[in-house]
């Protein structure tokens, strides 16, 4: 089976399994989504969703967030890990949004990636899920599964993103990246599947006998 045919089959199966793709991070608007995605770095979405009600109850706009001491933000978000860095970034980006963007989350990769604590993946999530711009955010799940399914060589996250964008139609990117995440969490986990166990791995590679070692 060629890479193109594997991609087509993956898309079919994931659409069958996950016709609806609710955004896993609880949020109210682009700003709260941006903060939630920032907090999700090296943290589960489930844990972020237990923390953000407390944080957003205290401040859910840039105007209110800049009034909260960084130490208080840090105390609230501590369960998410990396709290000193994340708290500082939340405070600083909120100030920048007020000073440079009229208190609004900008709708461009360049402006988003210029914000403290916001990398390309975070910007991609915000652009796709808040503004509907075609993007293919690649997180750990997607990077791992793309290698198991031989859609990329896994040389880097950037390479994986580029390869996936070539394989899948632009209009599928926003939904598909969530579908892959959902599938990875439920069926093709780091410990639950080594490239030979789950439905897609078995269907795509019926003769595969050895576990797949993926690059992080």
Distance CA 12, CA 6 (A): 10
Residues 6+ apart with CB under 8 A from 206: none
Query: Pick the catalytic residue: 60, 86, 121, 163?
Result: 121
3-state secondary structure of 101: helix
- Active site includes 60? no
Residues 6+ apart with CB under 8 A from 49: 24, 25, 26, 36
CA atoms within 13 A on the CB side of 13: 18
In order, the DSSP letters of 133-189 are -------HHHHHHHHHTTSS--S-HHHHHHHHHHHS-GGGHHHHHHHHHHHHHHTS-
Distance CA 131, CA 90 (A): 20
- Active site includes 86? no
> Is the separation of the CB atoms in 55 and 77 below 8 Å?
yes
Query: Pick the catalytic residue: 26, 45, 88, 139?
Result: 139
Which residues carry out catalysis? 121, 139
């Amino acid at each position: 089976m060629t890479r193109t045919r594997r991609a087509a089959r993956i898309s079919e199966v994931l659409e069958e399994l996950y016709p609806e793709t609710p955004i896993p991070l609880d949020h109210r608007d682009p700003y709260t989504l941006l903060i939630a995605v920032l907090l999700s770095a090296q943290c589960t979405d489930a844990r972020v969703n237990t923390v953000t009600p407390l944080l957003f109850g205290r401040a859910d706009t840039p105007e209110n967030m800049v009034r909260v001491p960084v130490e208080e933000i840090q105390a609230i978000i501590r369960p998410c890990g990396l709290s000193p860095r994340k708290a500082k970034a939340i405070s600083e980006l909120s100030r920048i949004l007020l000073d440079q963007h009229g208190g609004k989350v900008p709708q461009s990769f360049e402006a988003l990636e210029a914000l403290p604590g916001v990398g390309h993946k975070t910007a991609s999530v915000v652009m796709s899920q808040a503004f509907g711009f075609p993007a293919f955010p690649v997180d750990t799940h997607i990077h791992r599964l793309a290698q198991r399914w031989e859609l990329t060589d896994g040389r880097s996250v950037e390479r994986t993103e580029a390869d996936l964008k070539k394989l899948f139609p632009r209009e599928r990117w926003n939904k598909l990246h969530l579908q892959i995440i959902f599938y990875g969490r439920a069926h093709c986990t780091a410990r639950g599947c080594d490239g030979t166990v789950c439905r897609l791995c078995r269907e795509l590679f019926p003769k595969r006998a050895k576990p797949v070692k993926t690059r992080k």
